[in-house]
Amino acid sequence: MKRRDLLTLVLGAATTGPLVRSAGAQERPRISILHSGFPKLTPIDLLFDALRALGYENDRTARIDLLGAEGDPERLDALIARLSAERPDVIIAVTSPAALGLKRAGVATPVVFMFVSDPVALGVVDSLAHPGANFTGLTFSDAALGGKRLELLADALPGMERVAVLWSRSFLENDALFKAVRASASARRIEIFSRELAGPEDLPRAFEDARLNGAQAVVFITDNLLFGYRKEVAKQALANRLPSMHTYPPEVRDGGFMSFGPDLRESYRRAAALVDKILKGAHPADIPVEEPTRFTLLINMKTAKALGLEVPSSLLARADEVIE
């Protein structure tokens, strides 16, 4: 090769290399949010707010796609296949079915998961400290909180002797959550009536069964599909005179009696921060999985009054939000 040609080649590479990277840097990052349930029936706007606060505003500085499987496993598989082909810059997997589905599909895109109770037991990550591969995120620590929810319900209802646990196996971790509730009840010498739910159409019969079996209250363990029927759940609990304990604040705002769990606003904010780290060059395998640090207790006093309950003032003082 002639010296002039060699210089042209070298200078051309030196000139075009940074230009290519600069053009790439100007492209809007693509973030896909995959929810295995009904995202628009959840406070998903908190996640968009958290991303916007970090500079990722949909259709302006980023492209953010919101995909909901609506509790349908086949639809979830189709959405995962679509994401595998499209390969966005980051996927936010909301709930364990979404995270587990992406893991099983072997997607190459970095994944930030949230609302996953035990990602190690599910096989999503190798460990919390060293996730491995392309997954990281936040645990929901739900199983560990099952016992605490039972305790708070007992504090609200002194003398409670029998509780119904209405739950679904559609979330694999719900079994561990049920066992945690049962263990806490045993320690307090409270009897448990376990009733598995077949779906939304089973709600009236399930609450009736709880009442007929002597339950004085209900611990309701939701799933993707049932979360969209929060008002029906609250209606059935009230019709059967059963104070209910829930996982998520929206369940209480829609008429449930109490909820206790990780602070949702914090969860969305921390998930957005992990996305930001990845988009700035961090690898998920090097980002430890985070655990909740803030928890919220909500009490719906309107529901309490409808049930004729006198909630102890000591418990009301501990509540982060009291709905009048």
Q: pLDDT tens-digit profile of 211-266? A: 999 999 999 999 888 988 999 999 999 999 999 999 999 999 999 999 999 999 99
Same domain for 289 and 232, yes or no, is: no
The secondary element (H helix, E strand) that includes residue 311 is none
pLDDT in tens, 44-65: 999 999 999 999 999 999 999 9
CB of 92 closer than 8 Å to CB of 31: yes
- pLDDT, position 224: 83
Same domain for 196 and 234, yes or no, is: yes
Query: Which alpha helices (H) appear in the chain, and where do they start and end?
Result: 3-26, 45-53, 73-86, 96-105, 119-122, 142-156, 174-187, 203-212, 224-227, 230-239, 249-253, 264-279, 301-306, 313-318
Distance, CA of 158 to chain centre: 31
Same domain for 69 and 113, yes or no, is: yes
Same domain for 105 and 169, yes or no, is: no
- What's the rounded Cα separation, in Å, for the pair 144 and 4? 70
- pLDDT, position 26: 53
Question: CA dist 178 to 75, 92, 230, 292, 315, Å?
Answer: 27, 27, 20, 20, 24
- What's the rounded Cα separation, in Å, for the pair 223 and 207? 16
In this prediction, residue 21 has a pLDDT band, given cuts at 50, 70 and 90, of: very low
Domains: count for the chain: 2
Same domain for 31 and 123, yes or no, is: yes
Same domain for 125 and 33, yes or no, is: yes
Strand partners, 284: none
Tell me the backbone φ, ψ of residue 83, rounded to 5 degrees: -65, -35
Same domain for 171 and 315, yes or no, is: yes
Same domain for 194 and 280, yes or no, is: no
DSSP summary character for residue 40: G
Same domain for 44 and 154, yes or no, is: no
Same domain for 310 and 190, yes or no, is: yes
Same domain for 13 and 120, yes or no, is: yes
Asked whether the predicted pLDDT for residue 80 surpasses 90, the reply is yes
- pLDDT, position 172: 80
| Nearest Cα residue to 182 out of 277, 309, 174, 225 | 174
- pLDDT, position 143: 74
Of the given ranges (15-19, 139-143, 186-190, 214-218), which has the lowest mean pLDDT? 15-19
Write the CATH number for 134.
Answer: 3.40.50.2300
Same domain for 113 and 161, yes or no, is: no
| pLDDT, the chain, mean | 91
Question: Could you tell me the residue range of the domain that residue 280 belongs to?
Answer: 3-140+264-293
Mean predicted confidence (pLDDT) in 258-287: 97
| Nearest Cα residue to 306 out of 249, 245, 234 | 234
